[in-house]
Structure 1
């Protein structure tokens, strides 16, 4: 939303208005998009899914996070933060058959956790030719990414 100077009261100075504008632009920069490329988070996330992520967000057990791979820090990966261990996170994929996670590389230091996933957007499969098909896709395509939404997380937590 663009800054509207007329909303400021007469007691507010130009400096405060500029500061509010920087805060709004900074807030928008705190969010980004990430794409899932491998099946390590199936069934929660599939290859091709887009994630709306928040950089620097507080991470809690069960959150889906984007992190730098501990052995290849130029590679970003998506995993579930399972639990705190010391100064880092034990992370695992929801797919038990893919072990490219803490079972392979151990605890991930906090500084390698880049962002927390908020929303999953699943791309349409094929062309939606009807309004009902488009609405059906829209209802199922956009979902919050939370621990309680993931069937595999519920099974693992029991």
Structure 2
């Protein structure tokens, strides 16, 4: 069972891999709000199923009691097309900003 940070804590998250490029790059440091309301289009931090660990993915839609998460880069990583919808309580936070190396908002999906 995933552990959820208490209250309205902030999470620091490091992007690992290329699954969210070009919006996010390997090594980017992100600030995420725990227990924030999730909306389609948000970038979230989630405990991914199947022993994949924690990941940064974009929310596409609500899917039953969970969320359909996708990667921005279709040639790298994994997403709900591989592991299905992620339970709602597996979403740990909504990314609010990139802190390093290019501080600012997280860009919308680029296709």
Where on the TM-score scale, by shorter chain, does this alignment land: which range? 0.7 to 0.9
Give yes or no for the alignment of 1:70 onto 2:49: yes
Which structure exhibits the higher relative contact order, with contacts defined as CA atoms closer than 8 Å and separated by 6 or more residues?
Answer: 2
Of 42, 45, 65, which aligns to 1:87? 65
Q: 2:81 aligns to what SS in structure 1?
A: helix
Unaligned runs of 5+ in 2: 1-6
- Which structure: greater helix fraction? 1
Out of 100, 105, 108, the position equivalent to 1:122 is 100
TM-score, normalised via structure 2 length = 0.87
Q: Tell me whether 1:42 sits opposite 2:21 in the alignment.
A: yes
Name the structure 2 match of 1:12.
none
Name the one with the larger strand percent: 2
Post-superposition Cα deviations, 1:93-142, rounded to whole Å, max 9, x if no partner, equal 1001125100100111101111110001232xxxxxxxxxxxxxxxxx11
1:143 aligns to what SS in structure 2? coil
If the length of structure 1 is used for normalisation, what is the TM-score? 0.62
Q: Which residue of 1 aligns with 2:40?
A: 61
CA RMSD of aligned residues (A): 1.5
Distance 1:151 1:64, change over 3 A: closer
Given that 2:18 and 2:77 are in contact with CA atoms closer than 8 Å, whether structure 1 keeps it comes out as no
Structure having the higher Rg = 1
Shift of residue 151, structure 1, vs aligned partner: 4.7
Matches within 5 A, 1:76-155: 76-123=54-101, 141-145=102-106, 149-152=107-110, 155=111
